[in-house]
Structure formats: C-alpha cells, structure tokens
Amino acid sequence: MRRKDKEIADINEKLKIIDKNKVCRLALSANSQPYIVPLNYGYSFENGGLTLYFHSACEGKKMEIIEKNNRACFEVDCDSALVEGEKPCSYSYVFESVIGTGKIILLNTAAEKEDGLNRLMKHQTGKNETYHFDENVMARIAVYKMVVEEFTGKRGKTGRNEG
C-alpha cells in the first residue's frame, strides 16, 4: 500500500469494517473485461482466514464468468463523508474500506449451502439463529464462497488530501 499512513493493519479493525457493511462489491473478469456487482454477504474468520459467502440465481452473467474464471476481488466501504476545502483541490473524503482477492468456490451439497446461507443470514440480520431452508429453494439458488487470499484495510482519517 502506497499510503502507509492510511493503512489499517490491525485485523480486528478490518473485521469491524467487514462486519459493519451489508453490501460487498464483487469484481470478476472474463476475456479481459471487468465486471462488478454489489451483493449482500456473510462471512467467517477462522484460523486466520477470511471467507465471504454469497447467493444468487444459478444462471446469468456473474455465474458464467465465475465458471470461466473463479479469481475475484472484493471491496466494502463505510463511514464516508465529503470534507470541504478552501479550494477544489483541497477537498477530500474520509472513509474506511477493505479490499481483497481470492477464489470463488461453488458450494454443492445441501449442508454446504445451508451453512453458507446461515452465515449470510447471521451477518445480514444480526441474529445468531440457525435457519433451515426449503429443499426446492436450495435447488434453485447458487451459494458460493470467496476464499480470501489477501486483504487490506484503508482509512482516510484526516479528511485532507495529502497526495
């Protein structure tokens, strides 16, 4: 990271940002063409590893891209606000963000899908409940996870654009 003064190095601070957010932007690429989509998500952080969980229809552009190239990037951000300056170039933005890369893996068994959906529901609702899902619904949706290989955190805390 170029701006070390804005880096969030503490894993707990990065996880707080991931926990605060409800929408993640998932970036994919097919044939050198980028594609980005906002998705609700759930997550786990176990044994030092971050995993994000998503669900969607079983077909469509996103699924076609994942089948060809399961490499992905994600981004979440929050607590953003414009900081006005005296001149146009002295305006800035405060924010917190986490960005990472990894691989998308489709979950195939009913148990895997249910676990992924429960993680998503826990994160989205804030409720620590176990949900059970209708088999017919489970058969019609795709549940997948992103095994995150690396991720960084960044905070624009001063509100001044310093370079």
| Tokens 């044994």 belong to residue | 47
Other C-beta atoms lying within 10 Å of the C-beta of residue 108:
11
At 95-145, the pLDDT tens digits run 899 999 999 999 999 999 999 999 999 999 999 999 999 989 888 999 999
The mean pLDDT value for 69-88 works out to 90
pTM of the shown model: 0.89
Residue 159: is it exposed, middle or buried by C-beta count within 10 angstroms (0-12/13-18/19+)? middle
The CATH number of whichever domain residue 47 belongs to comes to 2.30.110.10
Residue 113, domain member (yes or no)? yes
Residue 70, domain member (yes or no)? yes
Q: Give the number of domains in the chain.
A: 1
Residue 83: is it exposed, middle or buried by C-beta count within 10 angstroms (0-12/13-18/19+)? middle
pLDDT-derived band of residue 9, with 50, 70 and 90 as boundaries? Answer: confident
Residue 114, domain member (yes or no)? yes
Residue 88, domain member (yes or no)? no
Boundaries of domain holding 145? 4-77+97-154
Q: What is the pLDDT of residue 5?
A: 64
